[in-house]
């Protein structure tokens, strides 16, 4: 049931995002579009409540409960970023907005990667916290090994994102040399 709910929440996220942007740009109803976009956090609340109820009703904690915590962590830390990322691209493509501008080179790209890494670290910390809450909630009565494994995966994800950001800092990509030399 939890996996089905995670899939439903993911599909609903994209449906709400598409509906909100359609109202904003095609129907020219920006307030209605914003109202639809603001409904997205309700998906995470529903998933959190259903997961807690499932554990309370005696379900053995397993990978599905861990995945729910990771999904909620991602949604909280990166959901707004994802909405903004899509919004800029839709505005540019369909509403004459400015082109998206993600830095590609040098210090600006390193700063961008550190900000993205910080979002992933936050997502991982939220997931770790939710997983620890589930471990305490279940207590010694159940096997919480799968939840602990998810915590270890989140620590790995933190390390991976820090390494990626660090690589952009230590080995910045240089802009291509401009042509146009003498013929």
Examine residue 71 and state whether it is found in any structural domain, yes or no.
yes
Read off the pLDDT band of 179 (50, 70, 90).
Answer: low
- Mean pLDDT throughout 111-116? 97
The rounded distance, in Å, linking the Cα atoms of 134 and 53 is 11
Examine residue 69 and state whether it is found in any structural domain, yes or no.
yes
**What is the model's pTM?**
0.86
The tokens describing 72, both together, are 């909620």
- Mean pLDDT throughout 160-172? 97
Task: Answer whether residue 177 shows pLDDT above 90.
Answer: no
- State the residue range of the domain holding 166: 2-170
Number of domains in the chain: 1
- From the number of C-beta atoms within 10 Å of its C-beta (0-12, 13-18, 19+), residue 28 rates as exposed
């Amino acid at each position: 049931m939890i996996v089905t709910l995670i899939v439903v929440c993911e599909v609903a996220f994209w449906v709400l995002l598409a509906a909100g942007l359609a109202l904003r740009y095609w129907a020219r109803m920006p307030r209605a579009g914003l109202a639809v976009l603001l409904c997205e956090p309700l998906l995470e609340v529903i998933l959190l409540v259903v997961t807690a109820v499932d554990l309370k009703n005696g379900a053995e904690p397993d990978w599905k409960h861990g995945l729910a915590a990771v999904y909620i962590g991602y949604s909280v830390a990166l959901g707004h970023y994802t909405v903004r990322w899509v919004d800029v691209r839709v505005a540019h493509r369909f509403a004459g907005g400015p082109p998206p501008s993600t830095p590609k080179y040098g210090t600006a790209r390193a700063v961008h990667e550190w900000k993205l890494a910080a979002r992933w670290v936050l997502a991982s910390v939220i997931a770790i916290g939710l997983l620890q809450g589930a471990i305490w909630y279940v207590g010694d009565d159940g096997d919480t090994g799968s939840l602990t494994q998810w915590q270890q995966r989140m620590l790995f994800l933190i390390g991976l994102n820090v390494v990626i950001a660090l690589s952009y800092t230590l080995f910045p990509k240089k802009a291509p040399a401009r042509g146009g030399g003498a013929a």
